[in-house]
Structure 1
């Protein structure tokens, strides 16, 4: 895959750094991702993988560095800002409310007020397209 038609990458990270006290979790990370690319983030426990993705999703503020989305410098100050940009995240350890249906759990992450029946229908269709057995209700 290559950069967008105008030469920009979908996501660029330059010098992203996160420090917790005396621990530097991410030290001047550079990353380029073109539209349509899939990347794996690999490393030992404590290498900073989760810290990096949390900065990209707005759950953590970097101490230094820049994030560019479609060639524009952005400040991702919250997961809501990330979602508006079109950045989604599936964390390694996620939490569901076991008393709720799959559709109700999905609804908790949406801001548009979609009816549960609509969310369930979309989830059912998507899971079917991937060959996954999911009853969202």
Structure 2
């Protein structure tokens, strides 16, 4: 379980995250929903360690918030028009010490040979998300 306690982040004396508390229980998938400017991205950045809170605590006793356990799906994903799915797989897998093999990648994403050979920017939003989740 991950506990978020009274997390606060200020920019130039403006509270963008104001004393937020919640738990993420084991096996849960958590989504943050709110209007533009509500502080969702800043909160996520603090939880994953990209930004430091001004106050509050993130309690992660099981050390789940590390790159081996963490997956983040961005709101929007854009790929260069000239890169194919199989080339992105090759690029991303080269960035990791212990990447998944291409067979496992295809089984997880259900990409067939034709989809591996297509340009990544032509994938549906859900299929683009597969590529990002697997390597972030």
Which TM class, normalised by the smaller chain length? Answer: 0.5 to 0.7
Q: List alignment gaps of at least 5 residues for structure 2.
A: 118-136
**What does residue 83 of structure 2 align with?**
100
1:71 is displaced (CA, Å) by 5.6
Output the CA distance in 1 between the equivalents of 2:54 and 2:81. Answer: 36
Give the TM-score, by structure 1 length.
Answer: 0.66
Give the TM-score, by structure 2 length.
Answer: 0.66
Q: List alignment gaps of at least 5 residues for structure 1.
A: 1-9, 77-81
How do 1:73-112 and structure 2 match up within 5 A? 82-84=66-68, 86-106=69-89, 107-108=91-92, 110-112=95-97
**What does residue 116 of structure 2 align with?**
136
Are residues 104 and 25 of structure 1, via their aligned partners in 2, closer, same or farther at CA, if it must alter by over 3 Å? farther
**What does residue 18 of structure 1 align with?**
9
1:52 to 43, 47, 55: 43
Alpha-carbon RMSD = 2.9
Are residues 111 and 71 of structure 1, via their aligned partners in 2, closer, same or farther at CA, if it must alter by over 3 Å? closer
Output the CA distance in 2 between the equivalents of 1:58 and 1:105. Answer: 26
Higher RCO, 1 or 2 (CA under 8 Å, sep at least 6)? 2
1:56 is displaced (CA, Å) by 1.4
Higher share of residues assigned helix: 2
1:18 is displaced (CA, Å) by 1.2
Output the CA distance in 2 between the equivalents of 1:57 and 1:94. Answer: 19
Output the CA distance in 2 between the equivalents of 1:21 and 1:98. Answer: 39
1:22 is displaced (CA, Å) by 2.6
Runs of 4+ in 1 over 4 A off after TM superposition: none
Output the CA distance in 2 between the equivalents of 1:100 and 1:113. Answer: 23
